[in-house]
Chain A
Amino acid sequence: GAVVSQHPSRVICKSGTSVKIECRSLDFQATTMFWYRQFPKQSLMLMATSNEGSKATYEQGVEKDKFLINHASLTLSTLTVTSAHPEDSSFYICSASNPTLSTDTQYFGPGTRLTVL
């Protein structure tokens, strides 16, 4: 139980284009979803927190107009990297939680490797 999927697993795009990454909770309803960014051999940095039907809350230093987050349903959140540049290349990981499932526990997706040429 508590499976989270991400699509695509890998994406390569040209500089200036936009890329959408999907995060789905497959067998539970995710009241909250989180988006992280992980640089090579580094830890996960929280980018934003989103609750279903509400605007996402972004961490300090994260550009909300560049990293658009939508959490339209209890099983789906999307991260759109707009006008991507090579410095946006990274491993993006989402997680989902539901307090009725398990208190204060996040379930992580497998991640999406974004490469911007």
Chain B
Amino acid sequence: AQSVTQPDIHITVSEGASLELRCNYSYGATPYLFWYVQSPGQGLQLLLKYFSGDTLVQGIKGFEAEFKRSQSSFNLRKPSVHWSDAAEYFCAVGAVNTDKLIFGTGTRLQVFP
């Protein structure tokens, strides 16, 4: 069965520090992979997505993610975190030729000044 695991429920970093949010997926075929960010009380904003090609994907707000098939991972990174990055981050996997997304449980990012 398809599933997405985000091992870290809550991460705290200092402003300016680097960030890596982990995501592992389980899917039998080639997945489409997404990272979304959710600010409190709001909907989800797409940060980046991977469909094929270059395994290092650049997104908005300075985020990037790397697809590693051998590790079934799609970790999100940012070299220098800003206070405005504090939010909930969701990794999701979508199946080719279907519209459905399966979300991980999310990682809450807290940023200290």
Contact = CB atoms under 8 A, between A and B. Distances in A.
Nearest to B42: A110
A49 B100 CA distance: 8
B44 interface: yes
Contacts of B96: 104
Given A49-B99, A104-B51, A106-B101, A111 B41 contact: yes
Contacts, number: 52
A4 B101 contact: no
A87 to B, nearest CB: 21
Contacts of A93: 43-44
Interface residues of B, number: 22
Contact of A105 (B46, B102, B104): B46
A107 interface: yes
Contacts of B51: 103-104
A44 B45 contact: no
Contacts of B105: 42-43
B41 A43 contact: no
A34 B101 CA distance: 10
* Residue with the highest number of chain A CB atoms closer than 10 Å, among B32, B51, B90, B103: B103
Contacts of A109: 43
A97 interface: yes
Contacts of B46: 105-107
B16 to A, nearest CB: 27
Interface string A80-116: 0000000000000101010000011111111101000
Contacts of B103: 43-44
A46 interface: yes
Interface of B: 32, 34, 36, 41-46, 49, 51, 90, 94, 96, 99-106
